[in-house]
C-alpha cells in the first residue's frame, strides 16, 4: 500500500535555537584562542551537544575558574536564559558573557518583573525544574514578595488561601506550554482573585508548531514526533497529538523499528519535530519511512 507521508512546515529548529547554535559555532570559529563554555546544554539534543563538543565547545554545569591572565574565555548563556547571579558570577570569574537568551524568553522575564514590581502575586505556569522557568523566577523574585511556580491547576491548590488573601494575581507562562494548560489555570484563578492580569507568553513558534501539527494529525492515521524526550516542547507536542490520533515519539530513525507493525498498517503518516531537533535527524526519519 502506497503511503502518504507529510512533514509539517514548522518542524525542527525555531529561530531562538537556530540563533543559539549558529552563534555559538561562529564564536568558536572567530575565537580560536579562547575556550568557550556553555552553561547547561545549549539545546536538549545530545547529537548537537556531541557536535559542539567535537568542535571544542564545552558544556558545563559550573564555570571553571578562569586562570588565564592573557585571554578572556567566553561563557555562553543558552536560549533558556539564566538567573542574574549566573551573569554576575561569570563576570567575576573573568569571563566574557555572550547572552543568547531567546528574545521571547526575555519578554517573559520582563513581564514577570513588571508584575511583581506592580504588586501582583506572580504565578508562573510551567515546570519548576525547567531551566527557562528557573530563570524567569530568579529574575522576578528580587523585585517582589512571592512567586509561585505551578505546572498545572492541581499544584496551585495548596496556594489557594494565599491567592485569596493577595487578591491581585499576575500570570506568565513558560514559552513552550500548552494553551489548554494556561486556560485551565486562568479558569481556576479567576474566582479566587479580585484582579487577574494574564500574559500569554507562549512563543509564536510554539503556537504555530502546535496548531499546524494538530491540523496534520486530523488527516493522519499516525503522527510521528521527532526529538529529545528531555525537550519540553517536543513532549508537549506528543501529548497534544496523542489526543487526536495514534502518535509515537522517537529521538532518531533507529527507533522506527520498534513500531514496524503500526507504520505498516498506516496510510497517512504525519511528521513533526520539536524546536531542538536538527534537520538531518528529521531527514533520516523521512528517508527511512519512504523506504518502507
Ligand atoms: S521555543 Fe520559542 S522561546 Fe524557546 S527558543 Fe524557540 S522561539 Fe525562543
Residues 8 and 92 in one domain: no
Whether 212 and 160 map to the same domain: the answer is no
User: What pLDDT does 271 receive?
Assistant: 98
Among candidate residues 198, 232, 255, the one where a domain is terminated = 198
Domain count, the chain: 3
The pLDDT tens digits for 202-252 are 999 999 999 999 999 999 999 999 999 988 899 999 999 999 999 999 999
**pLDDT for res 70:** 52
pLDDT attached to residue 248: 98
Mean pLDDT of 158-186: 95
pLDDT (average), residues 116-128:
96
Taking the centre of ligand 1 as the mean of its atom positions, its distance from the CA of residue 104, in whole angstroms, is 6
The answer to whether the CB of 6 falls within 8 A of the CB of 216 is yes
Q: What pLDDT, on a 0 to 100 scale, did the predictor assign at position 69?
A: 56
Tell me the C-alpha distance between 192 and 20, whole Å: 40
| Residue 273 CA, ligand 1 centroid: distance in Å | 14
Instruction: State which residues form the domain around 261.
Output: 4-12+205-290
Domain boundary among 198, 230, 250: 198
Confidence at 175, pLDDT banded by 50, 70, 90: very high
In a shared domain, residues 187 and 233? no
- Name which residue leads in pLDDT, 20 or 167: 20
Answer yes or no: are the C-beta atoms of 109 and 135 closer than 8 Å.
yes
Question: Domain check: are 263 and 216 in the same one?
Answer: yes
pLDDT at 162 over 70: yes
* The pLDDT of residue 59: 97
CATH number of the domain to which 83 belongs: 3.40.50.11270
Q: What is the average per-residue pLDDT within 135-149?
A: 93
pLDDT of residue 15: 95
| Segment 163-169 mean pLDDT | 93
160 shares its domain with 192? yes
Q: How many CB atoms lie within 10 A of CB 253?
A: 18
Same domain, 46 and 94: yes
Catalytic residue among 88, 132, 157, 239: 132
| DSSP category for residue 154 | H
DSSP percent split of the chain into helix, strand, coil, nearest 5? 50, 20, 35
What pLDDT sits at residue 67? 62
Check residue 61 and give its pLDDT.
Answer: 95
Are both 110 and 194 inside the same structural domain? Answer: yes
Compute, in angstroms, the gap from residue 73 CA to the centroid of ligand 1.
27
Per-residue confidence band for 27, with pLDDT thresholds at 50, 70 and 90: very high
CATH number (domain holding residue 132): 3.40.1010.20
* Percent with pLDDT over 90 in the chain: 91
Q: Which secondary structure element, helix H or strand E, spans residue 289, and what is its range?
A: helix 279-290
Task: Respond yes or no: is residue 132 known to be catalytic.
Answer: yes
Residues 269 and 186 in one domain: no
User: Of 148, 163, 198, which residue constitutes the final position of a domain?
Assistant: 198
> Residue whose CA is closest, atom 7 of ligand 1?
16
The verdict on the CB of residue 170 being under 6 Å from ligand 1 is no
The reply to whether ligand 1 has any atom less than 6 angstroms from the CB of 210 is no
Q: What is the pLDDT of residue 86?
A: 97
User: What strands, in cross-sheet order, belong to the sheet with 195-198?
Assistant: 147-150, 121-125, 168-173, 195-198
Same domain, 176 and 212: no
Write down the pLDDT at residue 65: 82
Q: Across residues 125-136, what is the average pLDDT?
A: 97
pLDDT reported for residue 229: 92
Same domain, 271 and 191: no
Instruction: Report the pLDDT value the prediction gives residue 55, as an integer from 0 to 100.
Output: 96
140 and 63, same domain (yes or no): no
Please check the confidence at residue 1 and state whether its pLDDT lies above 90: no
Going by C-beta distance under 8 Å and a sequence separation of 6 or more, which residues neighbour residue 119?
Answer: 144, 168
Q: pLDDT tens across 60-102, in order?
A: 999 988 665 555 899 999 999 999 999 999 999 999 999 999 9
Q: What's the gap between Cα 140 and its chain centre?
A: 19
Q: Are residues 97 and 134 in the same domain?
A: no
**Alpha helix segments (H runs only) across 219-259:** 232-242
Amino acid at each position: 500500500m502506497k503511503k502518504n507521508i507529510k512533514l509539517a512546515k514548522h518542524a525542527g529548529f525555531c529561530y531562538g535555537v537556530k540563533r543559539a547554535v549558529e552563534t555559538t559555532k561562529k564564536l568558536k570559529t572567530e575565537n580560536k584562542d579562547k575556550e568557550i563554555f556553555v552553561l547547561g546544554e545549549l539545546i536538549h539534543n545530545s547529537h548537537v551537544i556531541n557536535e559542539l563538543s567535537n568542535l571544542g565547545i564545552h558544556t558545563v554545569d559550573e564555570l571553571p575558574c578562569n586562570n588565564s591572565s592573557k585571554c578572556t574565555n567566553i561563557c555562553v548563556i543558552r536560549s533558556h536564559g539564566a538567573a542574574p547571579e549566573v551573569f554576575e558570577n561569570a563576570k567575576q570569574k573573568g569571563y566574557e558573557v555572550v547572552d543568547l537568551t531567546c528574545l521571547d524568553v526575555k519578554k517573559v522575564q520582563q513581564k514577570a518583573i513588571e508584575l511583581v514590581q506592580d504588586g501582583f502575586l506572580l504565578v508562573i505556569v510551567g515546570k519548576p525544574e525547567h531551566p527557562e522557568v528557573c530563570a524567569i523566577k530568579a529574575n522576578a523574585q528580587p523585585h517582589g514578595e512571592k512567586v509561585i511556580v505551578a505546572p498545572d491547576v492541581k499544584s496551585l491548590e495548596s496556594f489557594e488561601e494565599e491567592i485569596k488573601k493577595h487578591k491581585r494575581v499576575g500570570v506568565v507562562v513558560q514559552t513552550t506550554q500548552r494553551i489548554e494548560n494556561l486556560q485551565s489555570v486562568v479558569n481556576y484563578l479567576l474566582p479566587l482573585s479580585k484582579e487577574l492580569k494574564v500574559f500569554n507568553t507562549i512563543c509564536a513558534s510554539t503556537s504555530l508548531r502546535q496548531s499546524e501539527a494538530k491540523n496534520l494529525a486530523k488527516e493522519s492515521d499516525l503522527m510521528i514526533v521527532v526529538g529529545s524526550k528531555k525537550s519540553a516542547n517536543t513532549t508537549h507536542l506528543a501529548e497534544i497529538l496523542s489526543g487526536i490520533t495514534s502518535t509515537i515519539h522517537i529521538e532518531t530513525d533507529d527507533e522506527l523499528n520498534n513500531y514496524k507493525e503500526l507504520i505498516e498498517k498506516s496510510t497517512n503518516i504525519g511528521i513533526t519535530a520539536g524546536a531542538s531537533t536538527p534537520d538531518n535527524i528529521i531527514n533520516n526519519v523521512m528517508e527511512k519511512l519512504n523506504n518502507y
